Amino acid sequence: MAYWSFFIPFFESIYTKRVRIVGRKRKNSPNMKVYGVPFRVTEMKATTKGQIRWYVSMREPDGSVLHGENVGKLVTAKSIKAEVVIKATESIIRENGERVLEWLRAGRLKEATPELLLLALPEESIERVYGKSDEEHRELVRQVVKLLPPISELQEKMETVTLRAVEKVVAVKEKGSVVKRVLNRLYDEAVSWGIIEENRAKKVLIAVRSEGEKADKNINQRALSLEEMRMLTALCIEGMQTDIRYAAVLLHLTTGVKTGELCGLNIDNLMRYKDAVYIEIGAKSVQNRGKVAEWKPYERESGKVRRIPCTPLAQAALSVLLKPRLEAGAKVDAPLIVGEGGRRWDVLKLRAFEKEVLQKVVPEYAKISRTDVIRTSFEHYCRAVCGMSDGQTQKILGCKAAQTYEEWYADYNSRVALITLCAQLTRFHNLLAKKGDRWKVAMHLHLRVKRGASVKIQTEHGIKIEKW
Whether pLDDT at 141 is above 60: yes
Q: Tell me if 222 sits within 8 A of 370, measured CB to CB.
A: yes
Let me know whether 325 and 399 are in one domain.
yes
- Burial category of 419 from C-beta neighbours within 10 Å (exposed 0-12, middle 13-18, buried 19 and up): middle
The pLDDT of residue 246 is 94
Q: Are residues 307 and 415 in the same domain?
A: yes
Highest mean pLDDT among 29-33, 54-58, 153-157, 359-363: 54-58
Boundary (domain end) residue, out of 178, 205, 232: 205
Q: Does residue 314 sit in the same domain as residue 389?
A: yes
Taking CA atoms, 66 is separated from 90, 105, 182, 409, in Å, by 16, 18, 33, 61
pLDDT at 13 over 50: no
Residue 7: per-residue pLDDT: 47
Q: Within a domain: residue 232? A: yes
Does the pLDDT of residue 18 top 60, yes or no?
Answer: no
User: What pLDDT shows up at residue 382?
Assistant: 87
Does residue 296 share a domain with residue 261?
A: yes
Model pTM above 0.85? no
Q: Of the spans 185-199, 270-284, 445-459, which averages the highest pLDDT? A: 185-199
Better pLDDT: 179 or 302 = 179
Mean pLDDT of 121-148: 88
- The answer on 420 and 282 residing in a single domain is yes
**pLDDT given at position 234:** 92
> Could you tell me if 336 and 363 lie in one domain?
yes
- Residues 129, 90 within the same domain: no
Report yes or no on 19 lying in a domain.
no
Q: What is the pLDDT of residue 436?
A: 40
Average pLDDT over residues 196-214: 71
Instruction: Looking at the structure, tell me whether residues 236 and 357 fall in a common domain.
Output: yes
Edge to edge, the sheet with strand 53-58 lists 32-34, 37-43, 53-58, 72-76
User: Taking the alpha carbons of 149, 155, 157, 163 in that order, is the dihedral positive or negative?
Assistant: positive
Whether 24 maps to a domain, the answer reads no
The count of domains in the chain is: 3
**pLDDT for 210 beyond 60:** no
pLDDT for the residue 301: 65
Long-range contacts from 154-158, C-beta under 8 angstroms, 24+ separation: 154/114, 154/196, 155/196, 155/197, 155/198, 155/200, 158/187, 158/199, 158/200, 158/201
Q: Considering the chain, what percentage of its residues have pLDDT values greater than 70?
A: 79
User: Which of 110-119, 174-183, 230-239 comes out lowest in average pLDDT?
Assistant: 174-183
Contact present, 376 and 223 (Cβ < 8 Å):
yes
Q: Is residue 244 part of a domain?
A: yes
Domain termination residue (choose one: 65, 96, 127) = 96
- Please report which confidence band the pLDDT of residue 462 belongs to, taking 50, 70 and 90 as the band edges: low
Distance CA 198, CA 191 (A): 6
Residues 145-174 have a mean pLDDT of 87
Instruction: Indicate whether 130 belongs to any domain.
Output: yes
Mean pLDDT over 115-124 rounds to: 91
- 19 pLDDT above the threshold of 80: no
Q: Which of 251-265, 274-288, 354-368, 449-463 has the lowest mean pLDDT?
A: 449-463
Q: Which of 64, 96, 128 is the last residue of a domain?
A: 96
pLDDT of residue 24: 37
Rounded mean pLDDT, 202-208: 75
* Average pLDDT across the chain, whole number: 80
36 and 128 part of one domain: no
Domain that holds residue 300: 224-432
C-alpha–C-alpha distance, residues 120 and 133, integer Å: 19
pLDDT-based confidence at 56, cuts 50/70/90? very high
Question: How much is the average pLDDT of 257-265?
Answer: 90
A 10 A CB-CB count for 449 gives 8
Q: Using the predicted structure, report yes or no on whether residue 77 has a pLDDT greater than 50.
A: yes
Q: Do both 160 and 291 map to the same domain?
A: no
Q: Residues 6 or more apart from 449 whose CB is under 8 A from it?
A: 455
211 found inside a domain: no
State how far the Cα of 115 lies from the Cα of 104, in Å rounded to an integer.
Answer: 13
CATH of the domain at 308: 1.10.443.10
75 plus 157 within the same structural domain: no
Given a cut of 80, is residue 465 above it in pLDDT?
A: no
Confidence of residue 91 (pLDDT cuts 50, 70, 90): very high
Per-residue b or e along 173-198, where b marks 16 or more CB atoms closer than 10 Å to that residue's CB: eeebbbbbbbbbbbbbbbeebebbee
Flag whether 182 is in a domain.
yes
On whether both 230 and 309 belong to a single domain, the answer is: yes
Evaluate whether residue 464 is within a structural domain. Answer: no
User: What pLDDT is recorded for position 376?
Assistant: 85
Q: Residue 398 — left, alpha, or beta (φ > 0 → left; ψ -120 to 50 → alpha)?
A: left
- With contact defined as beta carbons under 8 Å apart, do 60 and 84 qualify? no
